[in-house]
Amino acid sequence: DTSLVEVNSFSSSMPVSPSSMINQYKFEEEPELRDLFITVDDPESHVTAIETFITYRVVTKTSRGEFDSSEYEVRRRYQDFLWLKSKFEEAHPTLIIPPLPEKFIMKGMVERFSDEFIETRRKALHKFLNRIADHPTLTFNEDFKIFLTAQAWELSSHKKQGPGLLSRMGQTVRAVTSSVRGGVKNRPEMFTEMNHYMETFSQKINVLDKIAHRIYKEEREYFNEMKEYGPIYTLWSASEEDIADSLKGIASCIDKCGKATEKRMAGLSENLLPILHEYVLYSEILMGVLKRRDQIQGELESKVDALANKKTEKDMFSEEIGKLEDKVECANNALKADWDRWKQNMQCDMRSAFTIVAENNLHYYEE
């Protein structure tokens, strides 16, 4: 669908091999601009009387002046990452916050607390923090700094300073109230186009995600059948001297096909499935961001309507409207800048993932 690639598409002069493209994307700007490097590694299992959970080591190296030290090492569990994401959404409702892996990622494919599950989650958490570190606004968020530097007890104490229950309920009620009033009347054309784009993108990325998982499942079934199929020819060759060499040749061929299929499956699970699923989650996040932008504008429109219907209290309403106009403008500008940045990252990620998969398929069929 050309509507998904026309805007902000990359120039034809850009290198298309995955390695050169990724190098251009990552390293051209890094030496001068990057001053925050984060690694998530060393998963550790904890068993208590109440629960079993995994913590991950988060190592941060930085040259920023607002940090007291140049290097930090803390341990964080998945719930801490969820808390951080919620703080970003609270502070920056119209910025595109990168997704976290779900509680049970790739359901049906891996067991919880298996090595594969933990490694898949570790990679996703590593990517989440580094996407935040590379973001021009989110990287300077105070809660992000605390997340990277505070010891466990300090973070726990900081979490308790969040908004009280009544405040949170009030925010929820306001959000629900503004969402049920109906659509905004004068939404700028740019944001209407964004909504249409995301509806199409969401539909297509969800289909791609489902098909990719189905292909992976079929490849795994095919691989398991070949593991059973090959040895049969080896056993058969022992009782058929005249065609023993031919039967052994077939067994060897099936074994080679099995190894090639296993390598292809690894390529899918490492290079394609995580990217597609990340952008499935991104599509949900973006729909939410666009809805929150509409809610801010809806609040402004309701105040303007109220002012038109009231003769008194004009001064109070005018002041409120002025503040809401500023809020809408800030929301629009934040989303515009983030939208362009997100699309460029998305197109780069997709191009890289699909190119790697295409090259892996070529190698597979050559083998």
Closest among 55, 35, 141, 145 to 97, alpha carbons compared = 141
Spelled out in words, what is the top-level CATH class assigned to the domain 36-157? alpha beta
Note the helical H segments in 92-187.
115-134, 142-149, 152-159, 165-179
Type of residue found at 335? L
Q: What is the pLDDT of residue 300?
A: 85
Closest among 254, 264, 255 to 362, alpha carbons compared = 264
Average pLDDT of span 11-37: 50
Average pLDDT of span 164-185: 50
Residue 25 predicted with pLDDT over 70: no
Burial of 77 (0-12, 13-18, 19+ CB in 10 A): middle
Q: What is the pLDDT of residue 7?
A: 42
> How does residue 230 score in pLDDT terms, banded at 50, 70 and 90?
very high
Dihedral, CA of residue 268, residue 272, residue 273 and residue 275, to nearest 10 = 160
Question: How many Cα atoms within 13 Å fall on the side-chain side of residue 362?
Answer: 6
Q: Among 21-30, 60-69, 86-95, 120-129, which stretch is predicted with the lowest mean pLDDT?
A: 21-30
Q: Is 174 helix (H, G, I), strand (E, B) or coil?
A: helix
Q: What is the pLDDT of residue 245?
A: 95
pLDDT digits (tens, 9 = 90+) for 326-354: 888 999 999 999 999 999 999 999 999 99
Task: Collect all residues with Cβ–Cβ distance below 8 Å to 191 and sequence separation of at least 6.
Answer: 290, 293, 294, 332, 335
Distance CA 10, CA 80 (A): 37
Residue 111 predicted with pLDDT over 60: no
Q: Tell me what percent of the residues of the chain surpass a pLDDT of 70.
A: 80
Task: Collect all residues with Cβ–Cβ distance below 8 Å to 5 and sequence separation of at least 6.
Answer: 347
Question: Do 36-157 and 183-366 come out as alike in CATH topology?
Answer: no
pLDDT digits (tens, 9 = 90+) for 269-289: 999 999 999 999 999 999 999
Distance CA 231, CA 228 (A): 6
Q: What is the pLDDT of residue 104?
A: 54
Spelled out in words, what is the top-level CATH class assigned to the domain 183-366? mainly alpha
> How does residue 81 score in pLDDT terms, banded at 50, 70 and 90?
very high
> How does residue 315 score in pLDDT terms, banded at 50, 70 and 90?
low
Phi, psi dihedral angles at 69 (to 5 degrees): -135, 165
Average pLDDT of span 183-211: 93
Domain boundaries, the chain: 36-157, 183-366
Q: Tell me what percent of the residues of the chain surpass a pLDDT of 90.
A: 59
Q: What is the pLDDT of residue 273?
A: 94
Residue 322 predicted with pLDDT over 60: yes
Q: What is the pLDDT of residue 233?
A: 95
Q: What is the pLDDT of residue 105?
A: 47
Q: Return the residue matching tokens 């780069």.
A: 348
What is the pLDDT of the chain when averaged over all its residues?
Answer: 83
